[in-house]
Amino acid sequence: MPNYAIEVNDISMKFNLSQEKLDSLKEYFIKFVKRQIKYNEFWALKHINFKVEKGDRVGVLGLNGAGKSTLLKVIAGVFKPTEGQVIRHGRIVPLLELGAGFDSQYTGRENIYLYSSVLGYSKQFVDEKYDEIVEFSELKDFIDVPIKNYSSGMKSRLGFSIATLVDPDILILDEVLSVGDAKFRKKSENKIMGMFDSGVTVLFVSHSIDQVKRLCNKAILLDHGELKAQGNIDEVAAIYEEMTK
Amino acid sequence: MKKYIDSFKKYRFLLRELVKKGIKLKYRRSYLGIIWTLLEPLMEMAVLSVVFSAMYGKKDRAFPVYILTGRLLYSFFSQGTKTAMRSIRANGGMIKKVYVPKYMYPLSCVIFNFIIFLISLIVLAAVATVLGVYPSLWTLTAIIPLFTLFLLTLGVGMMLSTMAVFFRDLEYLWEVALMLIMYTCAIFYDPSMLAKTHTDWILKINPLYGTIKTFRDAVYGSSMFTEPYWIVMPLVFSFVTLLLGFWMFKKNQDKFILHI
């Protein structure tokens, strides 16, 4: 029996795109009484089924709006799917939106603790790793500056350094290999490659098909919320390339 | 149940960080910083004392203590519920991007306001000593109304934070409701004034007044147990509110993300 890291069982995700924004009680009440509340139901994901074996590196392919990010967020636990369920075996580190949880009035140092706590680390762990974070992010001179004065590259560098602190069992990457300048990009790619070598399971979204081919051994293809294909990277990439022609 | 305890343990550090953030950012960039915690109630007390002493024309030396006790408890309730109510929307960006147990947001708001409130009790101690209201052993019983007040604020905060996600109007409605609550808490008038017009039932159904009254008893160094109603009613009310608040929150939290 194969050893699964992630099992995605018949997941659907529905969003209600209300045509008008109903933000107020009065509006809501009037519309409710008149039975005028219209929702544009929008299924971002429709009955997605797949399993990821331990150690697999899976590329998630698809055009804009195909549901890639939604799928990753469902797997990461940010969204709760409307139907279906996800079973995860092991510690997930989602590198989805680096620095979500940073507070702009806080300094770099304070944000290291804040963001670490958001990611569920313990205080002791952060205390131990603090120097490592600062060193990797190369922000030693700016660590006591409020983060609102950081450039976006600096912010992502700090976010990346904190998020990659633990050795995950499952790594979820959404276009994060394009962090910072060329020098830092190389460093971060090395770090992620190091994780790859240690046998971590990876879910990877990128618009660069070459990068996906280079890094992944399997792939799934999404189109308008449906799972179009899954299997070995070369087969799926061929279908995707056909689609984008 | 074990699942919840484990998850709480895992995110204990987050709760601490959020509480710290609330306190730190509240006074950041103001010159006096955390001193405002003490200064603000003191200044408000001075204003209220002058206005109402002049209005009632009475010469009660300890009247500022009376006002201050009511004002401090009420303003914790008002600040705590207001920030908790807005907490989900204020942290919308984070909620959309990473998973954390969402009750952490309103909970941390209530806790950080409670800590600020506890710090501001220093003012009360100082004013009471200056005006000759001295503590006795009964003062230790103040912990009962403080505990009740915390539960009440958390419960109401959880309810409001859930509802405010779906109806943003609530933020304005609650301001009005708070005003009504303030005037029915006997913060700056004597409750016997209401008894004259047979409207003192308002105080009887107001759990916040119950906590203010028993807290005052403790501060004045007298026993609050002579009329247990004022202890039991708020406590029961708070527990029910808290259970209801958590239940509402839990039932709706997965839908938050579609509305913020």
Tens digit of pLDDT for each residue in A41-54? Answer: 788 888 998 889 88
As a whole number, mean pLDDT of residues B50-69 equals 84
- pLDDT tier for residue B108 given thresholds of 50, 70 and 90: very high
Tens digit of pLDDT for each residue in B192-219? Answer: 888 888 888 888 999 999 999 999 999 9
> Taking 70 as the threshold, does the pLDDT of residue A238 lie above it?
yes
DSSP track, A24-52? SHHHHHHHHHTT---EEEEEEEEEEEEEE
| Chain A CB within 8 Å of residue B168 CB | yes
> Taking 60 as the threshold, does the pLDDT of residue A1 lie above it?
no
Task: Among A23, A106, A118, select the one facing B98 at the smallest CB separation.
Answer: A118
Phi-psi region of A64 (alpha: psi -120 to 50; beta: other; left: phi over 0): beta
| Chain B CB within 8 Å of residue A208 CB | no
CB contact under 8 A, B98 and A16: no
The DSSP output letter for B224 is S
CB contact under 8 A, B97 and A123: no
Return the higher-pLDDT residue of A245 and B45. Answer: B45
> Taking 70 as the threshold, does the pLDDT of residue A240 lie above it?
yes
For position A177, what pLDDT does the model report? 63
As a whole number, mean pLDDT of residues A13-20 equals 70
| Chain B CB within 8 Å of residue A78 CB | yes
| Chain A CB within 8 Å of residue B257 CB | yes
As a whole number, mean pLDDT of residues A152-177 equals 82
Residues in A 112-131 with any Cβ partner in B closer than 8 A? 113-114, 116-123
Give the residue on B whose Cα is nearest the Cα of A123. B13
Cα separation, B159 vs A125, whole angstroms:
35
User: How close is the nearest chain B Cα to the Cα of A193, in Å?
Assistant: 24
> Where are chain B's structural domains?
10-256
CB contact under 8 A, B94 and A26: no
Tens digit of pLDDT for each residue in A26-37? Answer: 666 666 666 665
Cα separation, A150 vs A157, whole angstroms:
10
* ipTM score above 0.90: no
For position B217, what pLDDT does the model report? 93
| Chain B CB within 8 Å of residue A26 CB | yes
Return the higher-pLDDT residue of A200 and B238. Answer: B238
Which residues of A fall within a CB distance of 8 Å from B173? 25
Q: Which residues touch B39 (CB under 8 Å, ≥6 apart)?
A: B32
For position B242, what pLDDT does the model report? 97
User: How close is the nearest chain B Cα to the Cα of A122, in Å?
Assistant: 6
As a whole number, mean pLDDT of residues B1-13 equals 85
For position B118, what pLDDT does the model report? 95
To the nearest whole percent, how much of chain B has pLDDT over 70? 100
For position A35, what pLDDT does the model report? 62
Q: At what angle do helices B207-219 and B229-256 cross, to 10 degrees?
A: 130
As a whole number, mean pLDDT of residues A160-169 equals 84
Mean pLDDT of chain A: 83
For position A20, what pLDDT does the model report? 54
CB contact under 8 A, B11 and A105: no
Supply angle C-alpha A112, A118, A119, rounded to 5. Answer: 90
CB contact under 8 A, B97 and A97: yes
Which residues of B fall within a CB distance of 8 Å from A123? 13, 16
What is the DSSP pairing of strand A4-18 with strand A39-53?
antiparallel
Which residues of A fall within a CB distance of 8 Å from B13? 116-117, 121-123
CA B125, distance to chain mean position in Å, is 18
CB contact under 8 A, A120 and B100: yes
> Taking 60 as the threshold, does the pLDDT of residue B226 lie above it?
yes
As a whole number, mean pLDDT of residues B218-241 equals 93
CB contact under 8 A, B97 and A77: no
Which residues of A fall within a CB distance of 8 Å from B99? 76-78
- pLDDT tier for residue A178 given thresholds of 50, 70 and 90: low
For position B61, what pLDDT does the model report? 81
